[in-house]
Amino acid sequence: MLHAQPLTPQTLALCDTTLRDGEQTAGVAFSLSEKRAIAHALDCAGVAEIEVGIAAMGWNEVAEIRAVVAEIQRAAPVVWCRLRMNDLDMAQKTGVKRVHFAAPTSTAQLEGKLRVDRDWILRETAELVYCATQRGLEVSVGAEDASRTDPDFLIRLAEVAKAAGAIRFRLADTLGLLDPLGAYRLVSHLVSKIELPIEMHAHNDFGMATANTIMAAHAGATHLSVTVNGLGERAGNAALEEVGAALEAGGMHTGIDLTALHPLSDIVARASGRALPVQKPITGALVFAHESGIHVDAILKRADTYEDPRCAPERFGRERQIVIGKHSGAAGLCAALSEAGLPSSTEIAAQLKPLLRAHAIRTKRPANADDLRRMVARLTRASAQE
Ligand SMILES: CC(=O)SCCNC(=O)CCNC(=O)[C@H](O)C(C)(C)COP(=O)(O)OP(=O)(O)OC[C@H]1O[C@@H](n2cnc3c(N)ncnc32)[C@H](O)[C@@H]1OP(=O)(O)O
Ligand SMILES: O=C(O)CCC(=O)C(=O)O
């Protein structure tokens, strides 16, 4: 029977790939100024690494990577490559000292995409990693589609990569097929067999990228691949803000400034043209909003009744909102009436409730101070006519 152990406090490196896998989101393309702003904000937020792009896309991309890297003071920039000498040559033109080679490993990828066998992958990986290290670069290797690959081949590839000089081995759940138990089992097994540090790169096709990434950390992965707002191919990748916040809540160190996540998320939402769902954990507009009467009553008495300090708004530089709507009770209503400068009592609150519920159903939005003013005026007129 498998039990995930609580993580012992240690530092986990968050490796952001918003500018690479994030920009691979169908329909997303960043301008140079947007890339620079994202890189700067990621660096300030404290990520360990920033995958800055794919140099093999051409000379313009090489020039842009150079300009983006100039924004980065603390994080290590990384250029992504296929198993191709030309990709390495182009990566070198960026001046970046860290390159990552993605090695497809599953039968579907080998036969269907590259039309090569496993020996080809091992040979190319060895040659390219060795060549890159001889050129003074630091190299990581990724197993693309690792979750559909025979684990023994992953171990063999990691051995070859290590022997050729690689510093890390990335496991990509390229199609987002793992579940948390599967992620834990796979990473635990590989951690016990592979001598390189392991990085988890999870996709979100079944909505489990964050959970899988956390379970990979529990199983011994030291590096976690993430994107801001969970951008990325198809359903996206593990979200930086979710992974960072969850690890920190669990007592892990990520080096992330939690108060930087909301502004960072906003920059990426604008640049990607992908508005953030209001309920997106940590950064969504309404994730620190409370409406239900029982919750609001309790929170006004003591905040930790429904806001644990590990996930309280101030931890992320954000503010709590009390929303007045269909489920409001007397305590929340009285507070809102006082704040709006209106007469406030439990009797008034009781009279307001039916009006408020009708308003919420009709307008599909919370009531603001003007709405409350109108409702109180209506009650006053009605009682004057009695
Ligand atoms: C899982 C992932 O996220 S992988 C990263 C995916 N990211 C991207 O594709 C974004 C950027 N890509 C591009 O701009 C282009 O695809 C380029 C510049 C890389 C290549 O463009 P093109 O030369 O026009 O090739 P095209 O995109 O049609 O096909 C990809 C080629 O790369 C090959 N390839 C794919 N992955 C790998 C790999 N890891 N190692 C070696 N070759 C690879 C394919 O087999 C194909 O080669 P072929 O043309 O000889 O059949
Ligand atoms: O970088 C890698 O190693 C894998 C590429 C990737 O983004 C993926 O497989 O999802």
pLDDT band at residue 7 under the 50/70/90 scheme = low
Determine the residue of 52, 201, 203, 223 to mutate for testing ligand 2's pocket, defined as the one with the most ligand atoms within 8 A of the Cβ atom. Answer: 201
Average pLDDT, the chain: 96
Both tokens of 27, joined, read 């329909």
Residue nearest atom 47 of ligand 1, based on CA coordinates:
114
pLDDT in tens, 282-338: 999 999 999 999 999 999 999 999 999 999 999 999 999 999 999 999 999 999 999
The answer to whether the beta carbons of residues 135 and 92 sit under 8 Å apart is yes
Measured from the alpha carbon of residue 145, the closest ligand is: 2
Both tokens of 96, joined, read 């970046």
Superfamily of domain 13-272: Aldolase class I (3.20.20.70)
Distance 49 CA to ligand 1 centre (A): 23
What is the β-pairing status of strands 98-104 and 76-81?
Answer: parallel
Determine the residue of 60, 113, 123 to mutate for testing ligand 1's pocket, defined as the one with the most ligand atoms within 8 A of the Cβ atom. Answer: 113
Angle at which helices 261-272 and 32-45 pack, to 10 degrees?
Answer: 160
For the chain, percent of residues with pLDDT exceeding 70: 98
Measured from the alpha carbon of residue 202, the closest ligand is: 2
Distance 69 CA to ligand 2 centre (A): 21
ipTM of the complex: 0.98
Ligand 1 and 55: CB distance under 6 A: no
Closest CA to 321 of 279, 353, 351, 287: 287
What is each CA distance from 338 to 211, 229, 240, 334, 348, in whole angstroms?
A: 42, 37, 39, 6, 12
Closest CA to 43 of 80, 11, 76, 12: 76
Give the position of tokens 């190299």.
139
Residue nearest atom 3 of ligand 2, based on CA coordinates:
142
Helix (H) or strand (E) run with residue 201 in it: strand 198-202
Domain-wise residue ranges, the chain: 13-272, 289-385
Distance 55 CA to ligand 2 centre (A): 15
Distance 34 CA to ligand 2 centre (A): 23
Distance 39 CA to ligand 2 centre (A): 20
Written as one string, the DSSP assignment of 74-127 is SSEEEEEE-S-HHHHHHHHHTT-SEEEEEEE-SHIIIIIII---HHHHHHHHHH
The answer to whether the beta carbons of residues 130 and 120 sit under 8 Å apart is no
pLDDT at 273 over 60: yes
Ligand 1 and 16: CB distance under 6 A: no
